[in-house]
Amino acid sequence: MTDNPFAAWMGQMQDVAKAMNPALEHFTPTGFEKLWPTMPPELVEQFMGKGISPEGLDAKTKMLLTLAGLTVLGAQAEAQVRITVRQAVAQGATKQEIAETIGLMGLFGGLPAMNKAMELANEVLEEKE
């Protein structure tokens, strides 16, 4: 099992895409982002939230934690940051919660990483308006 549930989920989605169509073998997160920008909240909760671990964290919290990890990594995975922000919003995360998550990670990943993640999050949040 991977430390990043989003990375594991993306790997599973790549396997599904490859099984559906071998030409999708090199399917990327950016391609997925364009194809399916968010999953239904119920599906995310089932596979990443209480459905897997009834006593554990809910999907919104896991999305915010994933966003924190992606921010600390330097927000290099732009498509993954945008997808995670969209999913966090779909799970009920507020702009304030997203901003606080990213802002706090500036202490660990540095200001450039925080600024990049905030820029990507703002792109997504402006799409919603």
| pLDDT over 90 (residue 28) | no
| pLDDT over 70 (residue 103) | yes
Within a domain: 17: no
pLDDT value, residue 45: 66
Within a domain: 23: no
Between 7 and 66, name the one with better pLDDT: 66
Number of domain units in the chain: 1
Q: Identify the domain containing residue 97 by its residue range.
A: 28-128
DSSP annotation string for the chain: --S-HHHHHHHHHHHHHHHH-GGGGG--HHHHHHH-S---HHHHHHHHSTTT-TTS--HHHHHHHHHHHHHHTTS--HHHHHHHHHHHHHTT--HHHHHHHHHHHHHHH-HHHHHHHHHHHHHHHHHH-
pLDDT value, residue 123: 93
Within a domain: 55: yes
Mean pLDDT of the residues in the chain: 81
Which percentage of the chain shows pLDDT scores above 70?
Answer: 71
Within a domain: 19: no
The structure's pTM equals 0.66
Within a domain: 16: no
Q: Residue 117 belongs to a domain with what CATH number? A: 1.20.1290.10
Within a domain: 116: yes
